[in-house]
A and B are shown apart, each in its own frame.
Chain A
Amino acid sequence: MNRLEREIVDLLPRLRRLARVLARDVADADDLVQLTVERALVHRGQWRPGTQLHSWMFRIMKNAWIDESRARTRRAAVLSPEEDALHVGSDGAGAMEARLEVRAVEDAMARLPDEQRVAVALVLVEGLSYKEAAEVLEVPQGTLTSRLGRGRAALLAELQATPS
């Protein structure tokens, strides 16, 4: 493995997390990660060492997701029973409560328009600065903060009805 490949392997957990926000379904999300990794390696010449690898790969993922969304009518963003069963742990009520909380957050996120959801994910989940997130989305910073504001307002309105 060369250096870039090693860094991509190290980045896989974060790529999976962002993909999970975008695609929700675990298998779809992992497909998106695989696509992202394959595209990144095909276009490896475009990555400038010394720049943030995660920003570059998040941008590739965002573009792959847009292509994917255009390529099909997206399946209703619901968790299938099969998927649900994959998450069921053997541990009791506490785990169930945590699961319900995750479900509430995922539901609220799923109702956001894609562009707001990605903005929220990059800043609040991935911890990117406004500048970095705007670069990933290839939009001016004002557009990013506007999406971020609308997304957050909608999430707050929805989630305050189901306090953690």
Chain B
Amino acid sequence: MTDRLDRVMAYVDGELDDGARRAFEAEMTADPTLAAEVAAHRELAERLSEAYGPVVREAVPLRLDLAARTANDQARPRIGTWAAVAASLVVGVVAGRFALAPEPAIAVGIELPARTELARALDRQLAAEPGVVRIGITFRDAQGRYCRTFQSAADRLAGLACRGDGRWRVTTATAWTPAAGPDYRTAASGTPPEVLAAVDRALEGETLDASQEKAARDAGWR
């Protein structure tokens, strides 16, 4: 690696001390080629930040949020079936294609942290709108709470969440992986039978139609 490139990098990366920086800047004034190299490196840094910057503003998948807050429970249960799962347990299911794939965590009975993409989708997204999370059916249960079915590709999870005290709470969840191919987002159904069974148990009356769903969302699910 040339000294010259090293010095350009160190300048652009803010690694020079005051004296060296001033000397470099004096050199740059006298040498337009050097100034052009600095400009090219600055532009590269900018393009990289712009390409990867938006990731930090994305909503975080639920499973990552849960991994950070629950992994210290030594007796973290890992159970394969849902029938036996009591409220507030975090459960692992077999994961996908990453060779060392961790088990996606699923929480039943927990309030969804508002920053998760699942909570955001439940708040805002209408049925059949595309996204990493898809919303299926919306209805009110016997207590008058709004409930919505969801499928989350990032969490590899499908389930039912109901709204109470201003937060979404997952009442049923099951492992779910999007069908191969680009079509699953537009497919009308795909809701697992366990979730549909939970809907049948909770449903009071009719499911909301598109305009009722939109009105409920616009009213903040109150």
Listed in ascending order, the chain A residues whose CB lies under 8 Å from chain B are 1-2, 5, 8-9, 12-14, 16-17, 20-21, 26-28, 30-35, 37-38, 41-42, 44, 64, 67-68, 71-72, 81-82, 84-86, 88, 101-102, 105-106, 109, 120-121, 123-125, 129-130, 145-146, 148-150, 152-153, 155-156, 159-160, 164
A1: B residues at CB distance < 8 A: 69
B9: A residues at CB distance < 8 A: 145, 148-149, 152
B58 close to A145 (CB less than 8 A):
no
A-B contacts, CB under 8 A, total? 146
A84: B residues at CB distance < 8 A: 182
The residue on B at minimum CB distance from A9 is B68
B15: A residues at CB distance < 8 A: 129-130
5 further contact pairs, Cβ within 8 A, besides A67-B100, A160-B40: A16-B64, A20-B52, A26-B154, A105-B48, A125-B52
User: A27-B98, A86-B153 known; A152 and B44 CB under 8 Å?
Assistant: yes
A105: B residues at CB distance < 8 A: 47-48, 50-52
B60 adjacent to chain A (CB < 8 Å): yes
Number of residues on chain B facing chain A (CB within 8 A): 52
Chain A interface, >50% SS class: helix
B44 close to A41 (CB less than 8 A):
no
B64: A residues at CB distance < 8 A: 12, 16, 30, 33-34, 37
Pick from A31, A86, A101, A153 the residue with the most CB of B within 10 Å.
A31
The smallest C-beta distance from A71 to any residue of chain B, in angstroms, reads 4
B218 adjacent to chain A (CB < 8 Å): no
The smallest C-beta distance from A51 to any residue of chain B, in angstroms, reads 18
The smallest C-beta distance from A123 to any residue of chain B, in angstroms, reads 6
> A68's contact among B43, B98, B153, by CB below 8 Å, is which?
B98
B72: A residues at CB distance < 8 A: 2, 5, 41, 44
B132: A residues at CB distance < 8 A: 86
The residue on B at minimum CB distance from A74 is B99
Cα–Cα, bound, A153→B4 (Å): 12
> A82's contact among B55, B63, B182, by CB below 8 Å, is which?
B182
Cα–Cα, bound, A124→B10 (Å): 12
A155: B residues at CB distance < 8 A: 44, 48
Cα–Cα, bound, A30→B63 (Å): 9
B47 close to A8 (CB less than 8 A):
no
The smallest C-beta distance from B21 to any residue of chain A, in angstroms, reads 15
The residue on A at minimum CB distance from B129 is A90
User: A17-B55, A20-B52, A149-B5 known; A64 and B100 CB under 8 Å?
Assistant: yes
Cα–Cα, bound, A34→B74 (Å): 17
> B154's contact among A27, A88, A106, by CB below 8 Å, is which?
A27
> B102's contact among A17, A38, A86, A121, by CB below 8 Å, is which?
A38
Cα–Cα, bound, A35→B132 (Å): 21
Cα–Cα, bound, A130→B101 (Å): 31
B61: A residues at CB distance < 8 A: 30
Cα–Cα, bound, A101→B153 (Å): 25
The 4 closest A-B pairs by CB, nearest first: A105-B51, A72-B99, A31-B98, A13-B56
The smallest C-beta distance from A52 to any residue of chain B, in angstroms, reads 17
The smallest C-beta distance from A157 to any residue of chain B, in angstroms, reads 11
